[in-house]
Amino acid sequence: MSLDKATVAKIAHLARIKVPEEELDHLAGELSQILTFVEQLNEVDTGNVPPMTSVAAQKLRRRKDEVTDGGYRDAVLSNGPETAEGFYVVPKVVE
């Protein structure tokens, strides 16, 4: 796929990137090469390749699905600068 200067200028505008006029030709060539490579990747048959989440085979550690209250209220509240009656005290922001 070949890109022209106008297309590259439009892409740069949409990406909010300032590209000088003299660099548009060079950038068009580089972007065209990238798109050509992506087109080559589309030709690869990946039908028999299983989906992967990582290149290393890993199993996630499991924990029991138990509902708890957490039991860390005092530890969590100790992170705040000011607390009262089990809640954080924050300045009023709405009149």
Question: For the chain, which residues make up each domain, given as ranges?
Answer: 5-42
What tokens does 36 get?
A: 């050509």
Q: Which residue has the tokens 């060079």?
A: 26
> Would residue 75 be called left, alpha or beta, if left means φ above 0 and alpha means ψ between -120 and 50 degrees?
alpha
Continuous segment of H or E residues that includes residue 41: helix 24-42
When the pLDDT of each residue in the chain is averaged and rounded to a whole number, the result is 90
Lowest mean pLDDT among 24-33, 37-46, 60-69: 60-69
pLDDT value of residue 64: 87
What backbone phi and psi angles, to 5 degrees, belong to 36? -65, -40
